[in-house]
Amino acid sequence: MNVSQKVRVRFAPSPTGDLHIGGMRVALFNWLFARQQGGDFVMRIEDTDQARYKPESVRSIVEGLSWAGLDWDEGPFMEKSHIRENGECGPYFQSQRTEQYRKYVDELLEKGAAYHCFCTVERLEQMRKDQEARKAPPRYDRHCARLTAGEVKKKLDAHTPHVIRMKVPEQGRREVDDAVKGKVSFDLSLIDDQVLLKSDGFPTYHLAVVVDDHLMEITHVFRGEEWLPSTAKHLLLYEAFGWEQPQFGHLPLILAPDKTKLSKRHGAVSVLAFREAGYLPEALLNFTLLLGWNPGKGSEKEIFSKEEMMAHFSLAGIQTSPAIFNYEKLNWMNGQYLKRLSLRALTDDALPCLTEAGLLTRLEAEEWITADGRSVKRAYVEQAVALAQPRLMCVKDVVQESDLFFIELSYDARLLQWKQTGLANARARLLDVRGLIGTAETRDATPPTLEEKMKAWIREKGHDMGDVLWPLRVALTGREESPSPFEVMDVLGKEETIKRLDAAIEKLSNFSI
């Protein structure tokens, strides 16, 4: 790469499915490098595999990166639900660039760096079987490379189906100074004569990627480690064309916790699936940054804003060993971001979840009906969400963490009993609490003040704390574990608190004590 040349990197996904977390990691590292260097970040859709092409995948890729907060300077983008293109190096869909590939294939044929292959599928299958029987490495036997010019012309004139293969030197080595792996050497005797142009006229990845990276003036290619073995073929193509090769960098694999390939059986793996599960884009981006990169020795920093990512990111920090996708760590990190989220923003995210779960039904802009039939304002919902916020790992957790504020409680009366004190004792203590809550001293008390006064009263009466607070907690929440009953009372308000206490007292009265 010319030192004075502007940095240009690209993210070039294949639209064969939803945007995978591994794809987002590739996009993020490219984006960070481009933004650090004042360069361009290009998106290109590599859709030459028409058999696996899914049109909806392009939308998923564009939507996923946009949701994650990664912007690009050239390529396809969404405009009013339609895919448009922006940039001077388009088209940015390889399927729309086939004429260019044909031109460069012809150049390779003229230079003797490629040749026509007319072998049938049947012949190739038999060749592979013979190689397996001899325990020989699987590679094309160059049958068609030995055809004379006259034989080739005759077959072409007869419109015999064919592909174009690159002619790999039978001996020698090629070396790449990889930005992540260091120096990597390839033995050319092990490299197959790769198909460059298929019989349907579409290029394979290897031809298209080299031609497009050159024409789009890509200076650095950062991609997954799975493409490292193919780099030898790409080096040979750059050499055959007489083009300067970009700087390569191959990112480590991402494995599941069990050290196998990360897949859907391990949990969510697509970016939009994480969005649907209630993860925040900032948290997912931060987590993705640490999949194969670290800020350096001695640094324990784990939370990075986008600005901090750009300030700290370096190619030297990319590790060579596989990264392990730890779902527990992702949940923890998402929880950290949820704790930092403003209550208004969190409530905005939580309301669709609460509505979908049937806990709330919207009446007006800022008013809802709860599942138990009460009319509540946004302030009530925000208070409920605020109590749940410290325990949330993802936004959808708000349903199970705050449903007690929107439903009619259902629980076994025996749950109200503290240890072995008996149900009659639980009923008596709840009657005491009900009376205490109605006094002038506690009517307008804040949770800390109410807690202080109630605990002072408990000590004065000589009761055990659990004797009173346990049945109070269960009466208000229907649960053994919950936020402080005093915080719950503050959200519910006096009327609903007394209603729930009365329901618990009646439940105990109707139970055979």
- For residue 232, give the H/E element and its range: helix 231-241
Q: Give per-residue pLDDT as tens, 420-447.
A: 888 999 999 999 999 888 775 656 678 8
Report whether pLDDT(268) > 70.
no
- The per-residue pLDDT for 436 is 87
Q: Give per-residue pLDDT as tens, 372-400.
A: 999 999 999 999 999 999 999 999 999 99
- The per-residue pLDDT for 197 is 97
What percent of the chain clears pLDDT 90, i.e. is strictly above it? 85
Domain 97-209: CATH architecture, name and number where available:
Alpha-Beta Complex (3.90)
Q: Give per-residue pLDDT as tens, 181-190.
A: 999 999 999 9
H helix and E strand count, the chain: 19, 16
User: Mean pLDDT score of the chain, rounded to an integer?
Assistant: 94
Boundaries of CATH 3.40.50.620 in the chain? 8-94+254-324
- The per-residue pLDDT for 367 is 95
Q: DSSP letter string over 392-436?
A: -SSGGGHHHHHGGGTS-----GGGGS-TTS-HHHHHHHHHHHHHH
Taking the C-alpha atoms of residue 196 and residue 202, their distance in angstroms, rounded to an integer, is: 9
Domain 8-94+254-324 in CATH: superfamily? HUPs (3.40.50.620)
What is the residue whose two structure tokens read 């969404």? Answer: 78
The CB density around residue 493, as the number of other CB atoms within 10 Å, is 14
Residues 6+ apart with CB under 8 A from 297: none
- For residue 176, give the H/E element and its range: strand 173-178
Average pLDDT for 195-215: 96
Q: DSSP letter string over 47-114?
A: ---TTT--HHHHHHHHHHHHHHT---SBEEEEETTEEEEESSS---BGGG-HHHHHHHHHHHHHHTSE
- The per-residue pLDDT for 2 is 59
User: Collapsing DSSP states into helix, strand and coil, what is residue 151?
Assistant: helix
Contacts 24+ apart (CB under 8 A), 143-148: 143/117, 143/119, 144/115, 144/116, 144/117, 144/118, 144/119, 145/115, 145/117, 145/193, 147/115, 147/116, 147/118
Radius of gyration over every alpha carbon of the chain, rounded to an integer in angstroms: 33
What percent of the chain clears pLDDT 70, i.e. is strictly above it? 97
- The per-residue pLDDT for 51 is 82
The first and second tokens of residue 372, run together, are 């138990």
Angle at 67 between CA 61 and CA 69, to 5 degrees: 105
Q: Give per-residue pLDDT as tens, 436-491.
A: 887 756 566 788 888 998 999 999 999 999 999 999 999 999 999 999 999 999 99
Ligand-binding annotation for 461, yes or no, is no
Taking the C-alpha atoms of residue 42 and residue 10, their distance in angstroms, rounded to an integer, is: 4
- The per-residue pLDDT for 447 is 84
| Beta strands at 40-43 and 75-79: parallel, antiparallel or unpaired | unpaired
Report whether pLDDT(371) > 70.
yes
Assess contact for 402 and 384: CB atoms under 8 A: yes
Name the active-site residue from 80, 135, 259, 264: 264
Taking the C-alpha atoms of residue 249 and residue 256, their distance in angstroms, rounded to an integer, is: 22
Boundaries of CATH 3.90.800.10 in the chain? 97-209
Going from the C-alpha of 61 to that of each of 19, 27, 318, the distances in angstroms are 5, 11, 24
The first and second tokens of residue 430, run together, are 């709840």
Closest Cα partner for 494 from 427, 439, 432, 426?
Answer: 439
Taking the C-alpha atoms of residue 126 and residue 70, their distance in angstroms, rounded to an integer, is: 48
Cβ neighbourhood burial of 219 (10 Å; 0-12, 13-18, 19+): buried
413-510: CATH topology: Arc Repressor Mutant, subunit A (1.10.10)
Taking the C-alpha atoms of residue 80 and residue 349, their distance in angstroms, rounded to an integer, is: 23
Q: Give per-residue pLDDT as tens, 155-177.
A: 999 999 999 999 999 999 999 99
Q: Give per-residue pLDDT as tens, 66-76.
A: 999 999 999 99
Assess contact for 84 and 112: CB atoms under 8 A: no
Report whether pLDDT(216) > 80.
yes
264 is known as an active-site residue? yes
Closest Cα partner for 163 from 154, 152, 176?
Answer: 152
Taking the C-alpha atoms of residue 497 and residue 503, their distance in angstroms, rounded to an integer, is: 10
- The per-residue pLDDT for 269 is 86
- The per-residue pLDDT for 421 is 86
When pLDDT is cut at 50, 70 and 90, the band that residue 322 belongs to is very high
